[in-house]
């Protein structure tokens, strides 16, 4: 699955890049673009060209922005799939046959294993492997304190010696490790060596058995016995299997304490038994799934940014419209022909661009001038500029300029002055509407604050009047 996804993505990226370099897709221009942007556009062209038609220069630029978004998402997902493929191809953990004990005088060590039966069943288990036996002189003085410490942790919360339903706690040491403890039980089918309670083997009215702890400190030994009544709890099959395997490990560990190496059992109930160290490796499938989710999020974020960019361009063009009309009317009144008006306005914009920033309407006028210089008829360039903005005002302005090409520019300056006055008035009305909308949005929070204030003021007064 991961290999297929990785291969398909790699094939797509290579095909899109190859077709782009071969010139199968039109380009809006590479000047001023970063190399990484050009690569992302090349990777995304194969998909984006089927979703967005490229007609005008403005649409061509939007198509390349869309291709950049698709290319970035595809490249990101391909990288994630490569990582998932590498992880999935890593070899698994090798089985182990045992663990080495600590030397004499050392501390006991706790080990966790992932047991795999011949049937395929997997059971997580833990076992504490004690160090080689200490001498008797280091243990004798702490027996009494060790017994008191064991009695405080022996029974689970809610259990007593008269009623045991949960596992007993058989500590392997006490007094900070100075005293080592070995446990014995009267009936291993009820209480295992590790304190595991097999309540399913107990009668409903309970059964009393003894449990014994042998406390060692050096070569000295003391034995303490408790009598407990075991009742049957509710146990699942998985819990029973874990308890059985833990009991087997504890028994094998106790029988081999004279050895320097703890040999793990090789079978359980006639089934072959294999142990593996616990693993926390993340699977390749989960990484691929997270990569897919992140890719979708990346695409949606880029799409939302594109929408915000288009809205901002529209707001800019609406704000610049009255100013452009006024500039056109002034230049036409000075006797400059319509074709020269665009050139004068765009030249002034280029000089002020560093301080004012990029303005979409003026950029569209620059593209219209470039089209006229490349041989496109003047009237057609004006109309294309108006259609590329998608705004009614610019469409009307382009229509007036296109008519002036056919019938001359007589009276055109006065017409543009009238259009500029109407545009300024409309912009003023739009600003007033936006202010009213902002006031309306603030009305609800103000009403909520008023309600809270009334509650704070009236509640003590109502209580005072005994209402």
Query: Cβ–Cβ contacts within 10 Å for residue 30, how many?
Result: 12
CB 41 within 8 A of CB 30: no
More confidently predicted of 149 and 62? 149
Among 50-59, 174-183, 306-315, 428-437, the minimum mean pLDDT is found in: 50-59
Domain boundaries, the chain: 2-89, 98-276, 312-428
Q: What is the mean pLDDT of the chain?
A: 79
State pLDDT tens for residues 259-284. Answer: 888 888 888 777 888 888 776 666 77
Tell me the C-alpha distance between 360 and 386, whole Å: 12
State pLDDT tens for residues 223-248. Answer: 889 898 988 866 667 777 787 888 88
Task: Name the strand (E) or helix (H) holding 220.
Answer: strand 220-230
More confidently predicted of 417 and 133? 417
Tell me the C-alpha distance between 41 and 61, whole Å: 11
Query: Cβ–Cβ contacts within 10 Å for residue 17, how many?
Result: 18
* Tokens, residue 257: 């304490």
Residue 47 pLDDT exceeds 80: no
Residue 168 pLDDT exceeds 50: yes
**Mean pLDDT along residues 196-209:** 85
* Tokens, residue 131: 């160090």
pLDDT, position 174: 83
Of 345, 351, 380, nearest to 365 by C-alpha is 345
Tell me the C-alpha distance between 78 and 76, whole Å: 5
Helix (H, G, I), strand (E, B) or coil at 93: coil
CB 156 within 8 A of CB 196: no
Tell me the C-alpha distance between 65 and 45, whole Å: 10
More confidently predicted of 63 and 425? 425
pLDDT, position 227: 92
Tell me the C-alpha distance between 419 and 421, whole Å: 6
Work out the pLDDT band at 53, boundaries 50, 70, 90: very low
pTM to 2 decimals? 0.45
CB 277 within 8 A of CB 237: no
Q: How far is CA 135 from CA 100, 102, 164, 234, in A?
A: 20, 15, 35, 43
Percentage of the chain surpassing pLDDT 70? 85
pLDDT, position 235: 60
More confidently predicted of 207 and 19? 207
Residue 57 pLDDT exceeds 70: no
State pLDDT tens for residues 69-113. Answer: 877 887 888 888 888 878 777 766 678 777 787 765 567 788 888
Exposed/middle/buried for 127, CB within 10 Å: 0-12, 13-18, 19+? Answer: buried
pLDDT, position 234: 61
Residue 125 pLDDT exceeds 80: yes
Residue 56 pLDDT exceeds 50: no
More confidently predicted of 434 and 379? 379
């Amino acid at each position: 699955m991961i290999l297929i996804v990785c291969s398909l993505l790699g094939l797509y990226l290579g095909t899109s890049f190859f077709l782009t370099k071969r010139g199968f897709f039109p380009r809006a221009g590479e000047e001023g673009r970063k190399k990484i942007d050009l690569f992302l556009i090349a990777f995304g062209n194969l998909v984006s060209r089927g979703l967005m038609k490229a007609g005008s220069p403005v649409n061509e630029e939007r198509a390349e922005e869309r291709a950049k978004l698709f290319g970035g998402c595809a490249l990101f997902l391909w990288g994630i799939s490569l990582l998932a493929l590498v992880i999935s191809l890593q070899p698994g953990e090798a089985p182990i046959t045992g663990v080495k004990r600590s030397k004499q005088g050392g501390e006991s060590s706790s080990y966790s294993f992932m047991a795999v039966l011949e049937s395929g069943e997997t059971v997580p288990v833990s076992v504490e492997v004690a160090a080689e036996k200490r001498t008797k002189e280091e243990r004798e003085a702490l027996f009494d304190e060790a017994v008191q410490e064991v009695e405080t942790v022996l029974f689970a919360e809610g259990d007593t010696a008269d009623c045991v339903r949960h596992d007993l706690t058989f500590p392997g040491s006490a007094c900070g490790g100075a005293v080592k403890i070995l446990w014995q039980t009267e009936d291993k089918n009820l209480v295992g060596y590790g304190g595991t309670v097999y309540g399913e083997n107990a009668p409903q009215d309970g059964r009393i058995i003894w449990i014994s702890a042998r406390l060692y400190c050096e070569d000295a030994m003391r034995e303490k016995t408790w009598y407990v009544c075991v009742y049957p709890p509710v146990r699942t099959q998985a819990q029973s299997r874990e308890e059985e395997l833990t009991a087997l490990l504890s028994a094998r560990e106790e029988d081999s304490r004279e050895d320097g190496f703890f040999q793990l059992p090789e079978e359980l109930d006639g089934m072959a038994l294999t142990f593996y160290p616990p693993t926390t490796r993340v699977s390749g499938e989960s990484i691929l799934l997270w990569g897919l989710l992140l890719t979708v999020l990346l695409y949606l974020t880029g799409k939302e940014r594109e929408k915000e960019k288009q809205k901002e361009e529209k707001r800019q063009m609406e704000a610049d419209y009255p100013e452009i009309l006024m500039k056109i009317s002034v230049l036409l009144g000075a006797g400059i022909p319509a074709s020269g008006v665009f050139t004068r306005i765009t030249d002034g914009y280029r000089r002020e661009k560093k301080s004012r920033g990029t303005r979409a309407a003026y950029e569209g006028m620059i593209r219209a001038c470039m089209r006229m210089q490349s041989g496109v008829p003047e009237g057609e360039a004006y109309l294309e500029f108006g259609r590329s903005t998608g705004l009614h005002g610019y469409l009307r302005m382009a229509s007036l300029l296109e008519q002036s090409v056919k019938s001359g520019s007589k009276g055109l300056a006065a017409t543009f002055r009238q259009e500029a006055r109407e545009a300024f008035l409309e912009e003023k009305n739009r600003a007033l509407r936006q202010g009213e909308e902002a006031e309306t949005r603030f009305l609800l929070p103000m009403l909520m604050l008023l309600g809270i204030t009334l509650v704070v003021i009236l509640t003590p007064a109502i209580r005072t009047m005994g209402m």
